[in-house]
Amino acid sequence: MRTACNSVQSEESTMPSQVKPKIVECPPGWTKFVRHFEVACHLFVGSGTNWDNARAQCMQNYRATLSGFESEAEKDLLYAMIQKENIGFNQVWLGAERNRACPVAQPSNDVNSPCFLESLFYWVDGAARDGKVMLNFWSPTNPSWHDNRENCLTILTGHDQSYNNKINDYEYVG
């Protein structure tokens, strides 16, 4: 398992503003993506034994958190960053956790349910504050909630084409 860290920056808003936003640069080697309310700086990390370890590496080494994405464009950019590493059949930890009030595979269509489609998982890096984006990108047969333990999120690489660049719910242990 590998890890994607996000060192979230602020102040480069794409929202309409009277004030010209301050341009934010990412540290050398990090990949920049301008979100609606912030700038994401993503970095691929070569290890990540489990989700907590991956998150701790981001924090301890970079004062960062795990990467999320708030749009398909940002997901594709993350995937391109990962693909460059040639890590084969693999998964990369992303910064989303299951809503613990919803220990089931299938999201609910009921807007009042804690397992509602758009609250089944949440991002820890603040991506997609409406919570909606990642739900379009599940790999086939996922979320699977396999063994009732898949509380974290990964992105898949080196699988067949229907799985690559798609997300998977996965257990904490890698």
Q: What binding mask, one character per residue, do residues 97-136 give for Ca ion by CB under 5 A, x or -?
A: ----------------------------------------
When asked if residue 142 is in the footprint of Ca ion (CB under 5 A), the reply is yes
Rg of the Cα atoms in the chain: 16
For the chain, the straight-line distance linking the first and the last C-alpha, in angstroms and rounded, comes to 6
Report, in Å, the least distance between residue 150 CB and Ca ion. Answer: 5
Contact region with Ca ion (CB under 5 A), list: 40-48, 90-98, 114-122, 146-154? 146-154
Q: Between 44 and 163, whose beta carbon lies closer to Ca ion?
A: 163
| CB-facing half-sphere around the CA of 72: CA atoms within 13 A | 4
Query: What is the distance between the alpha carbons of residues 2 and 56, in angstroms, rounded to a whole number?
Result: 13
Report, in Å, the least distance between residue 147 CB and Ca ion. Answer: 10
Q: Judge contact between 145 and 151, C-beta under 8 A.
A: no
Residues that bind Ca ion (CB under 5 A): 142, 144, 150, 168-169
